[in-house]
Amino acid sequence: MVHEFDEELREIKHEIIESRGLVIKTNNLTNALSADVRSIAKRQQTYERRISWNSATSYVVFVLVVFAALKLAMDARIDQLKGENEQRLKDVARLKDELSRSTEREVARQTADERAGKFYELVRQGKRADLIAQWEALKNQPLSKAESAVFGDAVERAKTELAAQLYQQGMDKVRVQRWQEAASAFEESIKQREDSAIGPSVRLGLADSYRHLNRQKEAIPILTLLADNAVDKEVHDDALYLLAWCQMDIQAWNDAKNTWRTLIRRFPEARFTGEAKMQLAQLQLTH
């Protein structure tokens, strides 16, 4: 019986030892499991932290990209608005300039209308000198084509009539031998209308006046042109006659001889031919 009790006691001890070993193993396994769990938890935390940083970084990058895109869009829009604003400013300046020019044209046109009205009154009244004097200022005004044509023709007629009037005044002064006044009238006549039909006669009168004023050197070029111009045949013999006398006045004897010969050859029946022959013969004897 004691023997059985000992046997049971040994079995109990054995079971206790086995239980203790099992507890130790279990404790070791539990510790290992706890270490694994902590390791897994730490790795999980590291992973989660890395994910968090990556997310934050991605968010920051995304925000920066969005801001950069917004800035580029804003800059482009600002540049566009600046360009549109500059274009509008240019358009405003252009419109102001056009308005200013239009106003100036309107004022100029009104002024031209007023001047044209006054000028027409001069035409109606036949005030030739005033008409000619004011035409230089009026023709640069914004007149219509019809106005320019009508007024231009009126001025040309006035110049022709005034030139004829001055020529007549010059001839009147010649008759009373007031040579300086005659020369002034002839000069003014040529100034008013150089190409008038009476131009050769005016120049002949001017040359004659110069000769009587002892201005033969000024008369000779005028007479030479009249004598050489085949178009103005009406004054040829008179021009040659006066030219020969002017050349004799300044003692250009050879030139005078040639001029007398030309007069005799061209106009054998002229009223000056007899005197020309006499003067030529005398020159040939003395010079």
| Contact yes or no for 279/260 (Cβ under 8 A) | yes
Half-sphere exposure of residue 115: CA atoms within 13 angstroms, side-chain side: 22
How confident is residue 132, by pLDDT bands cut at 50, 70 and 90?
low
Q: Which residues contact 134 (CB under 8 A, 6 or more apart)?
A: 115, 119, 122
Confidence (pLDDT) at 120: 55
pLDDT tens track for 214-259 = 999 999 999 998 888 755 667 888 899 999 999 999 999 999 999 9
Distance CA 95, CA 284 (A): 84
Residue 205 reports pLDDT greater than 80: yes
Cβ atoms 182, 174 nearer than 8 A: yes
Measured from the Cβ of residue 14, the count of other Cβ atoms closer than 10 Å reads 10
Q: Does domain 198-287 have CATH number 3.30.470.20?
A: no
Mean pLDDT of the chain: 78
Report the share of the chain in percent with pLDDT over 90: 17
- Give pLDDT, residue 127: 56
**Could you tell me which residue, 141 or 190, shows the higher pLDDT?**
190
Q: Which two tokens stand for residue 14?
A: 């054995």
Which range in 77-81, 101-105, 225-229, 276-280 is most confidently predicted, on average pLDDT?
276-280
Are the beta carbons of 229 and 264 closer than 8 angstroms? no
Q: What are the sequence ranges of the domains in the chain?
A: 113-178, 198-287
Q: What is the pLDDT of residues 148-159, one digit of tens each?
A: 665 566 666 767
How buried is 72 (Cβ within 10 angstroms: 0-12 exposed, 13-18 middle, 19+ buried)? Answer: exposed
Band the pLDDT of 29: cuts 50, 70, 90: confident
**CA–CA separation, 108 vs 138, rounded Å?**
11
Residue of 249 and 79 predicted with greater confidence = 249
